[in-house]
Structure 1
Amino acid sequence: MPPKTHLDRFAVGLLVVLCAIWGVQQVAIKLANAGISPVLQAGLRSIGATVLVWAWAASRRVNVFDFRDGTLAPGLLAGLLFAGEFALIFGALEFTSASRGVIFLYTAPFFVALGAVWLLPQEAMRRAQWVGMALAFAGVVVLFGENLLLPGGDAWIGDLMMLAAALLWGATTLTVKVSALSRAVPEKTLLYQLAVSALALPFLSAGLGEPGIFAPTLQVWGSLLFQTVAVAGASYLGWFWLVRHYPATRLSSFSFLTPVFGVLAGGLLLGEPLTPPVFIALGLVGAGIWIANRPAKG
């Protein structure tokens, strides 16, 4: 299938489904946190997804074990950054709501843009990207400020953890872009992240003294299964397929849909309060992502 220059109906439909899955992910994490410690939960997710993605690569005869291509060192680094990112995400949702958390997490593209100023000077920032970043930053200030005004609340801890996770997500993306991983097949890049986190997160959980699996209900296991199969397995592979066959700039403009779905899922499925600052922040971050990803004229 030759690369396409525009998004057809199939691509648009698949993108909407993927954004919905990624938005609901925060709800699934909170539900599973009720029975499995957050860092261990992230580790179990990575273990299951590693098996699934490896099986997919094997079925397509993709060689993911040839380390002569210079990907080993950056792959291990990307894996450690990925592990840290998801340890923070899963832990943050013990403090903050899913609807707030997804907005903070999707500031990651702007950390990538800032890092690219130094690491990727050939990808110069356009004026629209700076405007988009300013809007998204304003959204974060609005949302973070709401929790600071609440007496005795600790949701701001989760908010900060989500911002740190977004920073690590951005660092992972930059690691891939500036290293040999940019030339590797997508399955191999994803497996580095999943496999390293599958090894690191259970040890981190033990070091933190987490209780582990303490209330294994059907809802808890179902939420973990959704994350493993639908999110870390199928949705990531679906995204990589889209990246191979459609323009990346057009695909990235859809990323603002994920926090929209995340906010709606938090309100509808968990009954989280959707306050005016949440919608203001959602609008500012979404507008910022859209403006920053608009293709340059001419």
Structure 2
Amino acid sequence: MDTRKNIDGLAGAMMVGLCMIWGMQQVVLKAAANDVAPVMMLALRSGIAAVLVGLLMVWRRDGLSLREGNWRPGLMVGCLFALEFMLVGEGLRHTSASHMVIFLYTAPIFAALGLHWRLPAERLKPLQWLGIGVAFIGIVVSFAGGEHERETRDAGQQMFGDVLGLLGAMAWGATTVVVRCSRLSSAPVTQTLLYQLLGGFLLLMLVSTLTGQLRFNPTPIALGGLVFQALLVSFASFLAWFWLLRNYLASRLGVLSFMTPMFGIAFGVWLLGEPLETSFIVGALLVLSGIVMVSGYEWLSQWLKRRRVNP
């Protein structure tokens, strides 16, 4: 019997905090970009978090289970994790944090498409296909840009960064598919996280070296950003999220997680002074609506059933 609970006050408060942290991470990367390249920041945060997760695994006596064959999908998710954040880091050099957070969080759409193809139990329902269509329209509208944006920034550079964010979302979605369809689906959370962090650190450091993005000017914003990214984003928030998944209904948590892009946009406008164009607002709302229809299908279905019973 499933012992997971509905959302209570503790879970609600934790989700608000987590979504604020996740929404802030793109803004912090962008704010510190003059002192440390985003790709370099992402590499360092992955390395520090990997050490912390490794120490936690030693304390909890979690093994890597290499004999069980987990290293093969582990290697794959490590590479996909690195690819995702390489695209994010490069994309933030060309587009705004607000744009990046919206395009990156289309990942559930790509994960749903991949799982539909690989797992019979994850076949998409008509409402979910409609959600994918709505999200796609939203992406097209967001790409259109606005008059002010065309006057103040290179439209080609902006679109290039947006496309990189969308490709990063595809890599994130592919990571979800690999985890769900491999031995990692039953492995300890810390093991999967460690594979991702090690892959991210090694490959992103390689990319930083090859592209000449090794600079790190130890200003307060750079050091504070690194502490935020390593301790809160890559370590504490991820472990807290999986604790919530073990104790509460995933469909309810999934719906609440869509606060993240809204926080990301709000922080980008408030802290970085990023402009908000009408086309982007409309596109973002369409994207978020489509994602809720796809990932929140179970919750929406139950809500509609209750409305029919109690009109």
Using the size of structure 2 for normalisation, the TM-score is 0.90
Residue aligning to 1:157: 160
What are the within-5 Å matches in structure 2 for residues 77-92 of structure 1?
77-92=76-91
Contact kept in structure 1, 2:29 and 2:225, CA below 8 Å? yes
The alignment status of 1:166 with 2:165, answered yes or no, reads no
How far did residue 8 of structure 1 move? 1.1
State the distance in 2 between where 1:277 and 1:35 align: 32
* TM-aligned CA distance change 1:101 to 1:225, over 3 Å: same
Gaps of 5+ in 2: 306-311
The alignment status of 1:205 with 2:204, answered yes or no, reads no
State the distance in 1 between where 2:65 and 2:47 align: 21
Residue aligning to 2:292: 290
State the distance in 2 between where 1:244 and 1:33 align: 36
Deviation per CA, 1:220-263: give whole Å up to 9, x if none. 11112111111001100100101111111221112211100000
The alignment status of 1:126 with 2:125, answered yes or no, reads yes
Aligned residue identity for 1:184: A
What are the within-5 Å matches in structure 2 for residues 175-194 of structure 1?
175-194=178-197
State the distance in 2 between where 1:65 and 1:113 align: 28
How far did residue 112 of structure 1 move? 0.8
Moved more, 86-95 or 3-12: 3-12
SS at match of 2:131: helix
How far did residue 214 of structure 1 move? 4.6
Gaps of 5+ in 1: none
Moved more, 194-203 or 148-157: 148-157
How far did residue 94 of structure 1 move? 0.7
Residue aligning to 2:308: none
Residue aligning to 1:135: 134
- Pairwise CA RMSD: 1.8
Deviation per CA, 1:174-202: give whole Å up to 9, x if none. 00000000010111111110012112211
What are the within-5 Å matches in structure 2 for residues 58-137 of structure 1?
58-59=58-59, 61-137=60-136
Contact kept in structure 2, 1:147 and 1:156, CA below 8 Å? no
What are the within-5 Å matches in structure 2 for residues 232-243 of structure 1?
232-243=234-245
Aligned residue identity for 1:260: M
SS at match of 1:213: coil
**Residues matched between the structures, number:** 295
Aligned residue identity for 1:278: F
Aligned residue identity for 2:254: S
Contact kept in structure 1, 2:146 and 2:279, CA below 8 Å? no
Moved more, 43-52 or 130-139: 130-139
Contact kept in structure 1, 2:57 and 2:190, CA below 8 Å? yes
State the distance in 2 between where 1:122 and 1:214 align: 47
